[in-house]
Amino acid sequence: MLFGQGDYTYDYHTDWANLDSAYHEGWVPGVACDSKDRVFIYSRSEKPLNVYDRDGKHLATWGENVLTPNFAHGIFIDKKDNVFVTDATDHAIYKFSPTGELLLTLGTPGQPGTNKGDPFNRPTDIAIASNGDIIVSDGYVNHHVHRYTATGEHVCSWGGEGDGPGQFSISHTVRVDAQDRIWDCDRENCRIQIFDLDGNFLDEWTDLLRPNNIFIDNDAGVLYIAELGRRISIWNIETRELLSSWGGGGEKSDVPGEFIGGPHGIWVDSRGDIYAGEVERGEEGTMHKYIRRS
């Protein structure tokens, strides 16, 4: 079955990775690929973080003595193939080396911030700036964004609950573009807000279907959005032209490649293939792979 339009048309892989219950017993909120096109799936299961090759062969399980099975959420892989994950119920961010060694922990595992807005209280995602600074969306309770140095020193924070510029109703995902602008999925306000590294509001994209997660292809100038309103949309960043999309609102669908719940995590590998993790699809996790047509 085909998805998308024009230059962004995809074949759906109906059985990628054969995700069995040994690795995925719950929702699949997070997915990311490294420079070797290894696919990292972060799921709410007893074995939360699993590594696959691009053909779906299971390679490894990471973080079994570190990560809790309850509320896996965000994942990001930097240019050096370090892997960052947010454990929302543990109120912590973990950085692993390309071989799975735990390198850094931000936050005190199991302990939320003391005061409202203090890091962290159910954090949602992370991204890395060009200078190595760590950007954290602290979304479900704190409605904030925090910036840290690469070694974990706090630099600044901004946010608060609301719908004005710089306020959030669930700061759900952060990503950083080639100009070091921070893109934040302000999900329940149905928009993406854009900031500089100091938290100054620059711009916003509105009228989205509850944006959950984004992937920025800086080389092509293309933005991929996973929207909880059962849609994946692909945009030209500069012109804001919609290049391709599928799904969106309406009835839940059992058609392979369409959504019962909604895409929660999204990543694009070096060949242009899309990986999307879905939530709200029952007890079993669902992982989608869309293979781009050349």
264-276: pLDDT as tens digits = 999 999 999 999 9
Element (H, E) at 221: none
| pTM of the model as a whole | 0.96
Q: How many CB atoms lie within 10 A of CB 217?
A: 15
Element (H, E) at 109: none
Longest dimension (CA), the chain: 52
- Look at residue 20 and tell me whether its pLDDT is greater than 60: no
What is the share, in percent, of the chain residues with pLDDT greater than 90?
Answer: 80
- Look at residue 253 and tell me whether its pLDDT is greater than 90: no
Q: State the pLDDT confidence band at 281, using cuts at 50, 70 and 90.
A: low
Of the candidate ranges 202-216, 219-233, 280-294, the one whose mean pLDDT is the lowest:
280-294
pLDDT the model gives residue 279: 84
Mean pLDDT, range 228-254, rounded to an integer: 92
Q: Kindly report the average pLDDT of the chain as a whole number.
A: 93
- Look at residue 64 and tell me whether its pLDDT is greater than 80: yes
pLDDT the model gives residue 60: 94
For residue 284, the number of C-alpha atoms closer than 13 Å in the C-beta half-sphere is 8
Which residues fall within 8 angstroms of residue 278, CB to CB, at 6 or more apart? 27, 28, 259, 260, 261, 262, 263, 264, 285, 286, 287, 288
- Look at residue 284 and tell me whether its pLDDT is greater than 80: no
Note whether 199 and 158 are within 8 A (CB): yes
> What are 160-203's pLDDT values in tens digits?
999 999 999 999 999 999 999 999 999 999 999 999 999 999 99
- Look at residue 250 and tell me whether its pLDDT is greater than 90: no
pLDDT the model gives residue 233: 98
Q: What is the DSSP letter of 166?
A: T
Q: State the pLDDT confidence band at 249, using cuts at 50, 70 and 90.
A: confident
C-alpha separations of 232 from 22, 181, 239 in Å: 28, 22, 18
Tokens 């240019």 -> residue: 79
Q: What is the DSSP letter of 181?
A: P
Taken in order of first residue, the domains within the chain and their CATH numbers are: 2-292 (2.120.10.30)
Tokens 């974990």 -> residue: 152
Of the candidate ranges 29-43, 115-129, 246-260, the one whose mean pLDDT is the lowest:
246-260
Of the candidate ranges 18-27, 198-207, 259-268, the one whose mean pLDDT is the lowest:
18-27
pLDDT the model gives residue 283: 58
Cα 8 from chain centre? 20
Q: What is the DSSP letter of 115?
A: S
